[in-house]
Structures are given as structure tokens and as C-alpha cells.
Structure 1
């Protein structure tokens, strides 16, 4: 039996939660979706520090983060999204996606659905 991919996000961040719900509705996420706060990160092969920093996609023992996690989500969603996911994996699109992801992640508290808590490190939340 093939193991289902896992998508890990920051459940304390309003923008992240809104984005994941959007992805579930529009792309039909084909993965177990869980906030990092409730995930066994060690068993999934990642760390709290990484999960605090970026969305993660765990599949077949590999962990993809940030823009590459989004690319994997799109690939798993199937047509017509698969093409966008494949494009995000190749340079120079991969580089642009990485920069865009970092910009959004850094400013997520200012975006729709975001709250001041989105900009805080996990410990003070």
C-alpha cells in the first residue's frame, strides 16, 4: 500500500490556514493536511524550526519545503494543475518561485487572512 503524502503548515497563522483551505477547495489536495503543531515532525523526517519557516510536503520519505512543497501539491492535484507544478520545479521558474515564496512568507501577517500572530515566532504565540 502506498503511503499518503503529508502537507504540514503553521496552524497558528491565519494566512497559512486560509491558504491551505483555499488549496483544499481549489486544487483538491491529495494529502493528509496537518498543522505542524499536531504533527509528529521527527517521524516525518523534519524539524520544528523548518516547519515554523515554511510549508512542507512529505512524500516517500522526502521533505520538500516552501515553493517546492507548493509545486508538489500542484503535481499531486493532477490536471490541469500538474503542468504548473512541473514548471515550478525547473530553473529559472524554480528560482522565481523560491523568491516569491520567501517574500510572501516574510510578509504573511500583512496579507489577507493574516494576523499579527503570523509574524511572531512560535514560542511567543
Structure 2
């Protein structure tokens, strides 16, 4: 059984990989990190469709937070100002704004620095984590 949260991200996406690398080096969250392509999604209780749709924060007890809330949990697990930012991102109405920004970034990550056409979400995944 895991004792630390797990961040699951899209390892085939250059933008996502760059963000995770930044987080590990600068934010230093207290979690394990893996690409969904290498994770045992069934054992984690997560569908491939959801893992393709958004980053996931999975607690040791199996609770899954996705998208902006996964980012908020990652930040909250760090120290100092990052933890404060993570806490703020979990509060309404900031949480709602963060969700909108996360979706805009995720839906357009193939257009962002480090993104490639392989980063583009299939149209069927863009608005529904299924």
C-alpha cells in the first residue's frame, strides 16, 4: 500500500512532462510521480479516458482529484508559499476559476511551449473525463 499521494500525468505530452519536471525541481511536492502510461490504472481505480483527460492526484486511501484540484493538492503538499497557493486554489470561487484555466490549458497543450501534436487530446476527451 502506498503511503504517499501519487501524481499521474501524461508522459507522452512534452508540455505535461515539462510541468512535472518543473514541479519536482522547484516546488518539490511530497508525492510520488508517474506517467499514466506506466501506471497500473486499474489498480488505482482510474480509467484511461480520465488519465488522458487530466492530471490526477491519488491519495494513499484511493481518493482521486483531477485537473485543477490535482494541481492544488500538489501545491498544498509542498512547503511555504506553494502550500498557501494550493490551499487558495481549493477555495470557491477560486476553485471554479482554476478549473476553467486548467481546462483551457489542457485542451490547448499541444499549442503551448513543449507541446507537440501528440499532446492534443482527442476531441471526444476535451470536455468530459468520462
TM-score (structure 2 length as normaliser): 0.88
**Where does the alignment leave 5 or more consecutive residues of structure 2 unmatched?**
123-130
Please list the CA deviations of residues 66-87 of structure 1 after superposition, one character each: whole Å capped at 9, or x if unmatched: 0000000011012221111111
Deviates more, 1:99-108 or 1:25-34: 25-34
- Other-structure match for 1:53: 53
**Where does the alignment leave 5 or more consecutive residues of structure 1 unmatched?**
none
- Other-structure match for 1:115: 116
Matches within 5 A, 1:1-125: 3-59=3-59, 60-121=61-122
Which consecutive aligned stretches of 4+ in structure 1 deviate over 6 angstroms post-superposition? none
What is the RMSD computed on CA atoms of the aligned residues?
Answer: 1.4
SS at match of 2:77: helix
TM-score (structure 1 length as normaliser): 0.92
Task: Give the number of aligned pairs.
Answer: 121
- How far apart, in 2, do the equivalents of 1:72 and 1:118 lie? 23
